[in-house]
Amino acid sequence: MDRRQMLSLMGAGASLALPLPAFAQGALEKKQVTLGVGGKSLLYYLPLTVAERKGFFKDFGLEMTINDFAGGARSLQALVGGSVDMVTGAYEHTLRMQAKGQDIRSTIELLRFPTIVVAVRKAVADKVKSAADFKGLKIGVTAPGSSTYITVVHAMAKVGLKATDASFIGVGGGASAVAAMKRGEIDVISHLDPVIAKLETDGDVVTLIDTRTEAGTKALFGASNPAACLYLRQDFIEKNPNTTQAAVNGLYKALRWIDKASPAEVADAVPEQYHLGDKALYIKAVQASKDAYSKTGVMAQDGMKSVFDMLKALDKEMESVSADIIGKSFEPRFAQKAGTTVG
């Protein structure tokens, strides 16, 4: 055996000794996947950004194209229309679609709490002390129909107001939402960090409702309230179980990374524009929201029922819907498998 043959065998041996990639457990039915999201720069969707930036989707064989829409309702429309394969969005959308006979299911929980904050413009804070005072006001949300909209409408319903008692304005995510409040185009904002953290720090708003914490979430909803998740059409899941698992694995790996990382490391991992010009503020916002990210990826039963009860109380189309749809709204097996196979 000459030197060239020896080196060749040694190289082969070394390659055989390498660990097999995680996705070797099953060939992917579809490697190129399109995902929709509404406001990717928000901390609500931090696990998605981390999975993308850290290459966690690629670790499991996926080539992920992400389409960022103005709000969660629009990313849902893209899924229903077939222009995206999957969505990171609010869990409540799966319940709404199940109620309409469209089999859309969540496969991993990303946020245990909504982390949505409802705040009033400081100039009118002396007159607006609670949701009971929202009648006739202009309320900014990421997009009408999105989770930020549902949350503030729920708060209004608890004090006897209807959605039609106020005007809702879609302000998008990031800098556009901050600008809308600073220019006085809205009186109230229902939004997320880092938008809320920026407005709070600049003294532009007074916070009235805060679901970034467990206590604040239970005060508004009565229980935990699953928020951001990955959801897909059931027919896609059935045809592409390994692809679905790979997407869940990437997001689960991101959750584990976020849990162990410092807020400063998180800030370094995201695009600079996500900081809204103030990295220290972004770090502070991450620290405030860190406990809200799911520890297991599996939704709590009482939390799912909490979301269902909220929708049932708000939406006439949900009034006669049976709670049986809760069981169809979340497929736990993918998150459970990720928990046993992803490091």
Instruction: Give residue-wise pLDDT tens across range 39-82.
Output: 999 999 999 999 999 999 999 999 999 999 988 889 999 999 99
Give yes or no for a contact between 311 and 96, defined as CB atoms under 8 angstroms apart: yes
Query: What is the Cα–Cα distance from 2 to 166, expressed in whole angstroms?
Result: 83
Top pLDDT among 270 and 150 is at 270
CATH code, domain carrying 253: 3.40.190.10
Same domain, 170 and 263: no
Backbone φ/ψ region at 146: left (φ over 0), alpha (ψ -120 to 50), beta: beta
SS3 169: strand
Tell me the H-state helices in the chain.
3-17, 46-53, 56-59, 72-81, 92-99, 147-158, 175-182, 195-201, 214-221, 234-239, 241-260, 263-269, 279-289, 301-314, 325-329, 333-341
**pLDDT at residue 317, as a whole number:** 86
| Residue 175, in any domain of the structure | yes
pLDDT, position 283: 96
Cα-trace Rg, the chain: 21
**Does residue 17 lie in a domain region?**
no
Structural tokens at position 25: 């457990």
Domain end, chosen from 184, 210, 236, is at 210
List Cα–Cα distances, 315 to 95, 157, 231, 311, in angstroms. Answer: 12, 11, 21, 6
Same domain, 106 and 201: no
3-state secondary structure of 226: coil
- What was the pLDDT predicted at 174? 85
Do 233 and 96 lie in one domain? The reply is yes
Whether the pLDDT of residue 18 is over 60: the answer is no
Structural contact between residues 66 and 52, judged by C-beta atoms closer than 8 angstroms: yes
* Residue of 150, 275, 287, 271 whose CA lies nearest to 220: 150
Please tell me whether residues 109 and 252 are part of one structural domain: yes
Q: How far apart are CA 189 and CA 177, in angstroms?
A: 8
Answer whether residue 24 shows pLDDT above 80.
no
- Say if residue 247 is in the same domain as residue 203: no
Residue 8: predicted pLDDT: 39
User: Which of 210, 242, 266 marks a domain boundary?
Assistant: 210
Both 334 and 230 in one domain: the answer is yes
**Residue 218 resides in a domain:** no
Question: Above 50 in pLDDT, residue 223?
Answer: yes
Q: How far apart are CA 301 and CA 98, in angstroms?
A: 17
Asked whether residue 219 is domain-assigned, the answer is no
For 86-111, what is the mean pLDDT? 96
What is the pLDDT at residue 14?
Answer: 36
Task: Please indicate, yes or no, whether residues 30 and 178 belong to a single structural domain of this protein.
Answer: no
Residue at 101 is within a domain: yes
Confidence category of residue 224, pLDDT binned at 50, 70, 90: confident
pLDDT value for 271: 97
291 and 320, same structural domain? yes
The region, left, alpha or beta by phi > 0 then psi within -120 to 50, assigned to residue 166 is beta
Residue 19 has pLDDT above 50, yes or no: no
Place 25 in a pLDDT band, splitting at 50, 70 and 90: low
Q: Residue 267 belongs to what domain range?
A: 24-113+226-341
- 242 lies in some domain: yes
Do both 243 and 186 map to the same domain? Answer: no
Boundary of a domain, candidates 175, 210, 245: 210
282 and 159 in one domain?
A: no
| Tally of domains in the chain | 2
The predicted pLDDT at position 5 comes to 40
How far is 328 from 316, CA to CA, in rounded Å? 21
Reported as a pLDDT band with limits 50, 70 and 90, residue 26 is: confident
Whether residue 216 lies inside any domain: the answer is: no
Q: Verify that 94 and 127 share a domain, yes or no.
A: no
In a shared domain, residues 265 and 319: yes
Query: Does a structural domain hold residue 86?
Result: yes
